[in-house]
Amino acid sequence: MSRISGITHPQPPTEAAKFFAFGTPAGGSVHRIKREGAGLAWAGFGAPRAATRGSFGVVLDGIIYNASELAAGKPDAEVILDLFERFGFTGMLERLNGDFALALFDEKEQTLWLARDRFGAKPLYYTASSPWGFAFASRCGALLALPGVSSAPVAQYVALMAASHYRHFDNEPEKSPYKDIAQLPAAHWLRFKGGQVTTGTYWQLHDLPDWDEPAETLALRYRDLLLDATRLRIARCGKAAFTLSGGMDSSSVLSSAVKVTGQKQHAVSSVYEDKTFDESEDIQTILSETVSQWHQVNVSDPDVFSLVAKMVAAHDEPVATATWLSHFLVVRQASESGFTHLFGGLGGDELNAGEYEHFFFFFADLKQAGQFDKLRHEVNKWVEYHDHPIHRKSYAVMEGMLLRSCDLAIPGRCLADRARMTRYADALNPGFFDLRAFEPRMPHTFTSYLKTRTYQDIFLETSPCCLRAQDRQGMAHGIEHVMPFFDHRLVEFMFRVPGTLKVRDGVTKTLLREAMKGIVPDTTRTRIKKTGWNAPGHLWFSGKGREKLLDLVHSAAFRSRGIYDVARVEELIEEHEQIVSQSLVKENHMMFLWQLVNLEMWLGSSIPQR
């Protein structure tokens, strides 16, 4: 576990010690660097990830995986100083392969530099609202402890959390949920000098031509990249375990680790008595070849409201989806079992067209290219393999979705799914926020619809909330998360792989499946069915959960906030109960109810009320 913080103040007040030590766990330590004009701090376990040299001081949250290749034998913070002196700040960042947030203060130039890794695996926030000076920290909670920093939440964020879809919570990555606190986006640097803040990017993806090599050659290149990304990370980790579901992503990471180490590994999985999202049977098929011990965490009957309160306290904000309650318990179990690092498959869905909705953008690319015979074939296979009693599949459904999600007049321009975004808009108090007027950012980065959608997923939609949840919950239990799919070399490679090598004959992750021949057992590698890592939140808000929900909604505090149309919320709770208790073939409201509980827990906690 590690965290960083700092203040640009000639002599930080004695009270600042609480700011520097915010969130330090029992048994952890705080290492401070004092320089004329600023104070920096690192807090966590083990040797401090901090260094000084001459007028420079640096603190690091995270791991530089290629540190030994850059400067063998030196700690990560020393490697950063070496590269900074040779190449400058952005030149240093361009050479790092890691998950990190870092701060570097140049006393001679009276300049503070901040940076965040390419995908935002590690958090970094800042504020200029405190009389103590410009301040930064890994957590909003630390900055809220400073005088002059308001805990007032951003109304748009509250509205999105209350009644929209989790894909839109991170649509403005330069913001936090708090009015006085900004966030440094992924792949960005910040310079604070002379009272002025300047920011910029040091890495970005470009719309380059697709690889024209044979599929077999690309599969071998993909295999080598994933194995090397895994090798680099294993070399920098302590006692590691692997989160494991029945899908290709976590199985590929686990199997790659077995390949590079020659040893079976520990695996940790959430399991459920309800079979809606339980993947135990699928997981069983990979255990004998890859797993030395399978740690099962049963999440069938959790104390949801108590756990959400603990999670919100660790996050300093609401938690996006019910999946992360299961993850919280998995991480807790891994920590109690003595593990220090958890490897996972996050990023695999985004890079390999693994989300169900990626089919539509793949179809749009085929239509744009005039490949109509292939389009009909792929749609037919999509229907054959993926039809669902609630989410029906047909050529007409595909056509309708393309009209809603793609601007077919401009290659690669994706549109917001307004039906999904505003599904619960009528549950908001009309006077609080007009959700229907919200226009999310939809950057048009590529001429391929699938690549544009993938880019948006990684930087604005699915990945940010997942990376944040992993980090916060890992840090709360002394666990670092490790994600080989988010090695930037692998991401750059995959953004030049054509969609026809990611989806074929109605099956996703085609190139990954080919790359993992002989590494991932065929029972997993050839499985078409996708359960999706999720949790049975539909049950948590039914029965006894319904009664707790109604108690919350009927409370004076809930009603006084003026966020919701309370009568409409009550209708949704009753409708959810009916759908679940009667097993109706109809989409339930578990995501809306999960967000409601998290939002209320946050607004009722000590931080936003300070």
pLDDT in tens, 330-377: 999 999 999 999 999 999 999 999 999 999 999 999 999 999 999 999
pLDDT per position as a tens digit, 469-514: 999 999 999 999 999 999 999 999 999 999 999 999 999 999 999 9
- Mean pLDDT for 1-28 is 83
The whole-number pLDDT of residue 278 equals 87
- Mean pLDDT for 249-268 is 98
Sheet containing 196-201: order of strands: 50-53, 56-64, 98-106, 111-116, 188-193, 196-201
Tell which residue, 300, 359, 609, 321, has the closest CA to residue 506: 359
Place of tokens 């930087």: 459
Residue 534, pLDDT > 80, answer no
Tell which residue, 200, 204, 151, has the closest CA to residue 176: 151
Helix (H, G, I), strand (E, B) or coil at 380: helix
The whole-number pLDDT of residue 12 equals 74
**CATH code, residues 212-533:** 3.40.50.620
pLDDT per position as a tens digit, 221-243: 999 999 999 999 999 999 999 99
How does strand 240-243 pair with strand 341-343? parallel
How does strand 196-201 pair with strand 188-193? antiparallel
- Mean pLDDT for 52-70 is 96
Confidence of residue 608 (pLDDT cuts 50, 70, 90): very low
Angle of helix 462-476 versus helix 304-315 axis, rounded to 10: 100
| Total Cβ atoms within 10 A of residue 292 | 11
Neighbouring-strand partners of residue 57: 52, 105
Cα four-point dihedral sign 270, 275, 277, 281: positive
Place of tokens 């330069």: 174
Tell which residue, 95, 97, 106, has the closest CA to residue 38: 106
Instruction: Report the alpha-carbon distance of residue 190 to residue 173 in Å, rounded.
Output: 14
The whole-number pLDDT of residue 1 equals 57
CATH of 2-153+176-201, one of 3.90.25.10, 3.60.20.10, 3.40.718.10, 3.10.105.10: 3.60.20.10
Helix (H, G, I), strand (E, B) or coil at 427: helix
Q: What is the pTM of this model?
A: 0.96
Cβ-contact 5, 19 below 8 angstroms: yes
Strand residue runs (E) in 252-316: 265-271, 291-298
How does strand 29-35 pair with strand 38-44? antiparallel
Cα three-residue angle 202-206-212, rounded to 5 degrees = 135
Name the token pair of 209: 């031509």
Confidence of residue 610 (pLDDT cuts 50, 70, 90): very low
Cβ-contact 318, 598 below 8 angstroms: yes
Cβ-contact 329, 295 below 8 angstroms: no
Distance of alpha carbon 178 from the chain centroid: 19
pLDDT per position as a tens digit, 433-452: 999 999 999 999 899 999 99
Query: Would you give the DSSP letter of residue 11?
Result: S
| Total Cβ atoms within 10 A of residue 48 | 20
Cβ-contact 546, 569 below 8 angstroms: no
Residue 607, pLDDT > 70, answer no
Query: Residue ranges per domain, the chain?
Result: 2-153+176-201, 212-533, 537-603
Mean pLDDT estimate for the chain:
95
The whole-number pLDDT of residue 532 equals 61
Place of tokens 């400073």: 146
pLDDT per position as a tens digit, 453-480: 999 999 999 999 999 999 999 999 999 9
Exposure letters 57-89 (e unless 16+ CB within 10 A, then b): bbbbbbbbbebeebbeeebbbbbbbbbbeeeeb
Cα four-point dihedral sign 487, 491, 493, 497: positive
Instruction: Report the alpha-carbon distance of residue 150 to residue 523 in Å, rounded.
Output: 54
For the chain, what percent of residues have pLDDT higher than 90?
Answer: 91
Q: What is the maximum span of the chain, computed from C-alpha positions, in angstroms? A: 72
Helix (H, G, I), strand (E, B) or coil at 355: coil
Q: Where are the alpha helices (DSSP H) in 262-301?
A: 280-290
Confidence of residue 528 (pLDDT cuts 50, 70, 90): confident
